[in-house]
C-alpha cells in the first residue's frame, strides 16, 4: 500500500490555461528522521519506508497538468550503506497506465545524498488526465536508514492544459 506523505490541500488546477504552475514541495514529504512525517518513526527512521518496493506519495499532480520540468534542493543521505535506489513516477489512474519510473529510474542519489537528478526527458510534456499522486518507489532496499532531519522536496513545474 502506498503511504501518503503529503498534507492537504495540494495545489489544484486554478488559474488560466498555459500559465506556469509549480506544485509539490513545501510539505514534509519523505526523509528518514524528519519528525513531522510518519516515514520516520523517530530519529533513526522507519526502515519499512526504504524497504524493497515500498512506495511513498510525495504530492498530488492535478488533472490536466502538463509537466515541463522539476527542481528542488539536494536529496538527503538516506542509506547507511550503498544499496538504496529509488524511482519516481506514478501508479497511473483510470485513464493512464502506471509508470513508477516515469520521471526518475533507479537513482542511487539517496545513498550519499546529492543534487536532484535530471528528470527523464522522454516524458516531457506528459499530461495527467486525472488527479494522480507522484510516487517514490524503492527499487533496491537501503542497507540501513540514515538518521537525518531533511525531507525529500521536489517541485514540479508545468501548466494546466486548456
**Average pLDDT rounded to a whole number, residues 131-156:** 86
Residue 28 lies in a domain: yes
Strands 65-71 and 155-160: antiparallel
The three cell numbers locating residue 16: 488560466
User: Looking at residue 147, what is its pLDDT?
Assistant: 75
**pLDDT beyond 70 at 35:** no
Determine if the pTM surpasses 0.95. no
Residue 6 lies in a domain: no
CB atoms within 10 A of CB 128: 22
Residue 63 lies in a domain: yes
User: Looking at residue 125, what is its pLDDT?
Assistant: 95
Residue 55 lies in a domain: yes
**pLDDT beyond 50 at 100:** yes
Is-contact 25 150, C-beta < 8 A? no
What is the number of domains present in the chain? 1
**Residue 129: which domain range?**
18-160
User: Looking at residue 25, what is its pLDDT?
Assistant: 77
Residue 7 lies in a domain: no
Residue 5 lies in a domain: no
155-160, strands of its sheet edge to edge: 20-24, 155-160, 65-71
Q: How far is residue 62's CA from residue 56's CA, in Å, rounded to a whole number?
A: 17
Residue 4 lies in a domain: no
User: Looking at residue 46, what is its pLDDT?
Assistant: 62
Mean pLDDT for all residues in the chain: 81
How does pLDDT run across 55-98, given as a tens digit for each residue?
A: 888 889 999 999 999 999 888 888 888 999 999 999 999 999 99
User: Looking at residue 20, what is its pLDDT?
Assistant: 86
- Write the CB contacts of 52 (distance below 8 Å, at least 6 apart in sequence): 138, 139, 140, 141
Residue 118 lies in a domain: yes
User: Looking at residue 133, what is its pLDDT?
Assistant: 92
Amino acid at each position: 500500500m502506498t503511504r501518503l506523505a503529503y498534507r492537504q490541500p495540494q495545489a489544484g488546477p486554478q488559474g488560466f490555461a498555459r500559465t506556469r504552475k509549480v506544485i509539490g514541495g513545501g510539505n514534509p514529504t519523505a526523509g528518514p528522521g524528519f519528525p513531522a512525517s510518519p516515514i520516520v518513526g523517530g530519529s533513526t527512521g522507519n526502515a519499512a519506508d526504504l524497504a524493497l518496493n515500498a512506495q511513498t506519495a510525495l504530492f498530488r499532480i492535478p488533472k490536466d497538468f502538463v509537466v515541463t520540468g522539476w527542481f528542488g534542493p539536494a536529496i538527503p543521505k538516506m542509506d547507511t550503506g550503498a544499496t538504496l535506489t529509488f524511482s519516481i513516477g506514478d501508479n497511473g489512474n483510470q485513464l493512464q497506465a502506471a509508470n513508477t519510473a516515469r520521471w526518475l529510474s533507479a537513482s542511487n542519489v539517496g545513498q550519499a545524498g546529492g543534487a536532484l537528478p535530471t528528470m527523464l526527458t522522454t516524458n516531457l510534456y506528459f499530461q495527467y488526465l486525472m488527479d494522480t499522486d507522484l510516487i517514490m518507489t524503492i527499487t533496491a532496499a537501503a542497507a540501513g536508514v540514515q538518521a537525518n532531519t531533511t525531507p525529500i522536496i521536489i517541485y514540479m513545474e508545468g501548466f494546466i492544459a486548456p
